[in-house]
Amino acid sequence: RMLLRSVLTGNIRLLAMAVDLLVPPLMLLILLESLGLLAFGSTWLLGGPPLPASIVCTSLIVLAAVLLACWLGYARHTLRLTDILLLPVLIFRKVAFYAGAWRNRGSGWVRTDRQ
């Protein structure tokens, strides 16, 4: 609705917000693309068409190239190479977080006493 409203009213700021909301968090994007590669790659190995696996693999390669270019250009002094190499570990830790969010298992608000 926000995207449609921004286009109909010509509101550039609303359009920017709507487009920003369409982009998933980086960890979720990497996780979804990895799962897609696993699913389509398995399908291809079992005799399915190779095109979906090729598209997802190309997408992952482009994503890795863009992330490397961004790191080289802007974040090399902030983010160490060892942190980047530990990215798969972080992704697997996020799986539990996203699985819990998918099932709506929130702990709720816990009010604490003030001193």
Listing DSSP states for 8-20 in one string gives HHT-HHHHHHHHH
Q: What is the mean pLDDT of the chain?
A: 86
Q: Is the pLDDT reported for residue 94 higher than 80?
A: no
- Residues 74 and 67: beta-carbon distance below 8 Å: no
pLDDT in tens, 39-89: 999 999 999 999 999 999 999 999 999 989 998 999 888 888 888 888 878
Residues 103-114, mean pLDDT to the nearest whole number: 69
pTM (2 decimals)? Answer: 0.63
DSSP 8-class letter at 50: S
Residue spans of the domains in the chain: they are 25-102
What is the model's pLDDT at position 31? 83
Helices (H) and strands (E) in the chain, counts: 6, 0
CA proximity to 32, closest of 43, 40, 42, 20: 40
